[in-house]
């Protein structure tokens, strides 16, 4: 359901981007007409005619109809900023910081530790607080900021449901993480005298109880997902019961 909603948002965003691009071409064409007029030459085409020309041109190229407002073309030709430019000037993050945040989301997701919306907000707040200092609000970016960010850059990132147990024992960042995990597991087994014959049904029921804590996590786009089953199997970490058996065998319990 969520992916479908995001798809609808993507369509709206792409339509907006197409209109902005077409509008830019029309503005450049009208500016050329103004340049001819400034040279004392007759103004051959007006703003309305240019809007109609580019609307028809776009329909011939794509089959889609985008209507342009001649008053908007005139204003932008005179130097008035577009809505996209105005929004960019008011945005919290610069273009470079946006790329850095997206790269960070993808990096931690590929490592098996996807960010939640709350963690993403904390990360962005930290960046902006370091850059803006006291000028940045104490409350940080708005409550819906991360949702808008993910929706806008959904070509690179997407949201999915996850629970605290999902991916937590996943693709370890380095061997030290693996070593720390098994050392902790070893101490827990010895301390609580955990048998290697753990009832599978009881374990599954215990794991299912944690599903009530599901939350949204951020991952990379579909193109970056693992599609090779052998690769996926090779990167799939052992389950808790398998880990217990591995430790038992190592300790010869």
Look up tokens 């342009």; give the residue. Answer: 68
Average pLDDT over residues 190-201: 64
Whether 69 and 128 share a structural domain: no
Whether 99 and 151 share a structural domain: yes
Model confidence pLDDT, tens digit, residues 92-135: 788 888 888 888 888 888 777 778 888 889 988 998 888 888 88
Q: CA–CA distance from 112 to each of 162, 181, 212, 223 (Å)?
A: 11, 15, 21, 17
Of the candidates 34, 42, 41, the one whose C-alpha atom is nearest the C-alpha of residue 75 is: 34
Whether 8 and 85 share a structural domain: yes
Model confidence pLDDT, tens digit, residues 158-185: 665 554 444 444 455 556 666 777 788 7
Whether 73 and 114 share a structural domain: no
Helix (H, G, I), strand (E, B) or coil at 68: coil
Q: SS3 sequence, 158-197?
A: EEEEECCCCCCCCCCCCHHHHHHHHHHHHHHHHHHCCCCC
Domains held by the chain: number: 3
Whether 84 and 106 share a structural domain: no
Model confidence pLDDT, tens digit, residues 41-82: 766 788 899 999 999 999 999 999 999 998 998 988 888 777
Whether 143 and 198 share a structural domain: no
Whether 106 and 70 share a structural domain: no
Task: Give the count of beta carbons closer than 10 Å to the beta carbon of residue 184.
Answer: 10
Structure tokens at 234: 């090779």
Of the candidates 92, 88, 177, the one whose C-alpha atom is nearest the C-alpha of residue 132 is: 92
Of the candidates 214, 234, 210, 182, the one whose C-alpha atom is nearest the C-alpha of residue 114 is: 214
On whether the CB atoms of residues 187 and 35 are closer than 8 A, the answer is: no
> Domain range holding 58?
2-90
């Amino acid at each position: 359901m969520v992916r479908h909603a995001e798809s609808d948002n993507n369509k709206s965003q792409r339509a907006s981007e197409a209109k902005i691009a077409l509008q830019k071409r029309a503005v450049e064409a009208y500016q050329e007409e103004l340049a001819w007029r400034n040279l004392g030459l007759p103004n051959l085409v007006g703003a309305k005619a240019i809007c109609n020309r580019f609307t028809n041109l776009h329909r011939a190229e794509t089959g889609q109809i985008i209507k342009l407002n001649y008053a908007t073309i005139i204003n932008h030709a005179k130097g008035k900023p577009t809505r996209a430019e105005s929004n960019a000037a008011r945005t919290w993050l610069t273009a470079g910081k946006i790329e850095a945040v997206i790269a960070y989301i993808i990096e931690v997701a590929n490592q098996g530790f996807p960010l939640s919306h709350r963690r993403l907000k904390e990360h962005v707040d930290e960046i902006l607080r370091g850059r803006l200092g006291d000028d940045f609000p104490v409350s940080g970016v708005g409550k819906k900021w991360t949702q808008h960010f993910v929706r806008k850059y959904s070509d690179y990132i997407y949201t999915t449901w996850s629970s605290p147990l999902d991916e937590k024992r996943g693709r370890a960042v380095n061997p030290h993480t693996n070593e720390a995990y098994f050392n902790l597991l070893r101490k827990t087994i010895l301390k609580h005298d955990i048998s290697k014959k753990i009832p599978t049904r009881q374990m599954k029921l215990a794991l299912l109880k944690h599903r009530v804590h599901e939350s949204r996590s951020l991952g990379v786009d579909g193109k970056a997902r693992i599609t090779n089953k052998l690769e996926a199997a090779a990167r799939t970490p052992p389950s808790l019961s398998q880990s217990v058996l591995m430790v038992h065998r190592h300790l010869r319990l």
